[in-house]
């Protein structure tokens, strides 16, 4: 009886180790006697590009999580069917060992996945590890192919996401234009006008000034007043960005806007002002450089934008 048990245990141990060796080292010694190993080999073809380290860990994790519990089950079923009496403690210990090995397999599997996600760190290790000198060139080339493959996959995935976004995109109720920090508004506008002049493109410039400035607006440079929000909601052209020059004085711009579009905008704004009795608000809109080719006044003093 003891001899039979000894043989069974040894058989399973051989199978476990052979699985690991077979898949990691690709030896053909036990190919004929071990079927799961052959299945694993076929599956592992899909992961041939992974670094050797990760491949080996994957196989070990697979063996620990799938093969060992399966073998333990077969072992106990065989014993049960053969009516062989074995101590309960031995069963408990075997089950406990199986569970511990399964957990170890899970930890190894998790580390494999993280090695792929955290690919920069894996690359760093691949270069630093002195144990890799022997098969370094082969490994690097394979790893480079793997990275290129992943790059392609990532780009493809991003394309799919973008397409999905385009299909699913709804009309947005309202979005405030990007707010530019006050200290940068003037310089930004100057650089944009220069760019428009060089590229011969049209830059739409908007300016709003209110004579009534609220306390909130005076205290907080990022506070966009309600009158301006209402203006932005009503107008047909949405500025790319807006910024506050001083409390109550806001400026916005939009690239590639024609003179005609700006005139239409200004007309609609004037109608809006007169219908809502907003006499305390001054609005200016023009297209640069067509409408105002000379903007030296803008560079010297932005206040001159109040001309209408």
Partner 1 sequence: MNKSNLLLNNSLNDFLKSKNYLENNMLKEIQRVRNDEGGGWAGHFVDSGCLTENELLRLIIEETGLPYIPILGVTPPDQLLNEFTFDFMKAFECFPVDKIGHILTIATPNPFQQELIRSRQTANCEIELFVCRVSEWREKIRLVTQKNN
What is the binding site for partner 1 (CB under 8 A)? Answer: 118, 120-121, 165, 168-170, 172-176, 178-181, 184, 220-224, 229
Q: How far is the CB of 98 from partner 1 (least distance, A)?
A: 30
Smallest distance from the beta carbon of 284 to partner 1, in angstroms? 23
Our CB check for partner 1 shows the closer of 83 and 222 to be 222
As measured in angstroms, the least distance from the Cβ of 116 to partner 1 is: 14
What whole-number distance in Å separates Cα of residue 3 and Cα of residue 60? 29
CB of 179 vs partner 1, minimal distance in Å? 4
Task: Return d(Cα 198, Cα 211) in angstroms, integer.
Answer: 36
Tokens at residue 37, please? 């190993």
Q: Give the gyration radius of the chain's Cα atoms.
A: 36
The CB-of-177 to partner 1 minimum distance in angstroms stands at 9
Q: Residue 181 Cβ, how far from partner 1 at the closest point, in Å?
A: 5
Separation between Cα atoms, residue 69 and residue 237, nearest integer Å: 67
Cβ distance to partner 1 smaller for residue 30 or 224: 224
Query: Which C-beta is closer to partner 1: that of 118 or that of 144?
Result: 118
User: Smaller CB distance to partner 1: residue 168 or 236?
Assistant: 168
Q: For residue 248, give every residue at least 6 positions away whose Cβ sits within 8 Å of its Cβ, in sequence order, or none.
A: 209, 210, 211, 212, 213, 217, 225
Which residues, in sequence order, are bridge partners of residue 283?
208
Residue closer to partner 1, measured from CB, 2 or 128: 128
H helix or E strand, kind and range, residue 204: strand 203-210
Phi, psi for 173 (deg, rounded to 5): -60, -55
Cβ proximity to partner 1: between 151 and 306 the closer is: 151
What are the angstrom distances between the C-alpha of 149 and each of 135, 142, 153, 232? 21, 10, 6, 46
In the complex with partner 1, which residue's Cβ is closer, 179 or 278?
A: 179
Confirm if 232 and 238 have CB atoms less than 8 A apart: yes
- Name the minimum Å distance from CB 1 to partner 1: 50
Alpha helices per DSSP H over the chain = 2-25, 35-44, 52-62, 68-81, 88-117, 119-128, 136-168, 182-199, 215-219, 226-234, 259-275, 296-300
3-class secondary-structure state, position 190: helix
Give yes or no for a contact between 171 and 177, defined as CB atoms under 8 angstroms apart.
no
Tell me how far, at minimum, the Cβ of 110 lies from partner 1, in Å: 14
Nearer to partner 1, 121 or 145 (CB): 121
């Amino acid at each position: 009886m003891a001899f039979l048990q000894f043989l069974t245990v040894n058989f399973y141990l051989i199978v476990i180790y052979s699985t690991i060796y077979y898949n990691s080292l690709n030896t053909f010694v036990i190919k004929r006697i071990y079927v799961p190993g052959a299945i694993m080999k076929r599956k592992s073809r899909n992961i041939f590009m992974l670094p050797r380290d990760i491949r080996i860990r994957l196989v070990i994790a697979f063996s620990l999580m799938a093969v060992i519990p399966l073998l333990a089950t077969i072992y106990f079923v065989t014993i049960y069917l053969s009516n062989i009496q074995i101590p309960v403690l031995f069963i408990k210990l075997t089950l406990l060992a199986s569970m511990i090995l399964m957990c170890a397999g899970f930890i190894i599997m998790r580390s494999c996945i993280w090695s792929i996600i955290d690919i920069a760190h894996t690359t760093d290790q691949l270069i630093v590890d002195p144990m890799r000198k022997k098969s370094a060139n082969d490994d690097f080339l394979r790893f480079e192919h793997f990275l290129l493959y992943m790059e392609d996959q990532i780009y493809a995935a991003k394309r799919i996401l973008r397409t999905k976004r385009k299909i699913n995109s709804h009309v947005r109720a309202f979005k405030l234009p990007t707010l530019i920090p006050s200290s940068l508004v003037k310089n930004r506008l100057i650089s944009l006008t220069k760019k428009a002049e060089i590229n011969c493109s049209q830059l739409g410039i908007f300016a709003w000034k209110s004579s009534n400035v609220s306390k909130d607006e005076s205290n907080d440079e990022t506070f966009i007043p309600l009158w301006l929000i209402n203006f932005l909601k009503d107008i047909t052209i949405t500025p790319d960005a807006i910024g506050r020059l001083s409390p109550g004085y806001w400026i916005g711009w939009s690239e590639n806007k024609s003179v005609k579009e700006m005139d239409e905008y200004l007309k609609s704004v004037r109608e809006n002002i007169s219908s809502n009795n907003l006499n305390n608000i001054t609005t200016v809109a023009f297209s640069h450089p067509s409408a105002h080719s000379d903007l030296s006044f803008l560079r010297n003093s932005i206040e001159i934008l109040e001309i209408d």
